[in-house]
Structure formats: structure tokens, C-alpha cells
Amino acid sequence: MDINPLDIIFETTPIGSGEQYMLDELNVYNTRKQRYDKLPKEIDSLNEYLGKNRQAYIFCHPRIYESLKELLLNTEIFEEILNEVSKR
């Protein structure tokens, strides 16, 4: 089976475990009001959530789903892949 470069995509949440972006000084431009406003509290909450709940995602093309699923049932291979992805 040929696998193309975008047939399998590994992704993690954008920040590492326990890490948070410093957003205190960040302002966002409000196009409706034509001015800069402070960052909404929801963004800070999302930043905190991502720092505490890091996750990895695997996306794949439907034609290789079953093969990939079988491969990932081998916990050693799955852990090796997740460890490699988490380094990035």
C-alpha cells in the first residue's frame, strides 16, 4: 500500500503540559468598534485548559484507516509514535 505524505497527520494541542502562553499584555483589534480591546477572558481560560489537558490526535485517509487502527493496537508502537510526536 502506498502512503502519501498527507495520508496520516499527527497533531497535538499547541502547548505543552503545564505550559501557558503569557497573554496579559496582548490586545486584539475589534473591527466592529475600530479599536484595540483587552483579550477576552475565554481566551485565557482556553489557554489554561490546553496547558492542563494536552492531547494527541491522529488523522488519516479513510483508505488506510483499518490498517492504521490494527497497527496502533500494538501498544509499544503506539507509545513510540506518541513519544515522537510529543517531542515536536
The 10 Å CB-count burial string (b at 16+, else e) for 65-84 is eeeeeeeeeeeeeeeebeee
Least confident of 2-6, 21-25, 66-70: 21-25
Of the two residues 75 and 85, the one the predictor is more confident about is 75
pTM: 0.50
Residues 6+ apart with CB under 8 A from 77: 71
What is the crossing angle of helices 65-72 and 75-86, to 10°?
A: 100
Domain ranges of the chain: 1-16+55-88, 17-53
Rg (CA), the chain: 19
Other Cβ atoms within 10 Å of 10 Cβ, number: 15
pLDDT (tens digit per residue) in 7-59: 988 887 776 655 666 777 788 898 999 999 988 888 878 878 877 777 778 89
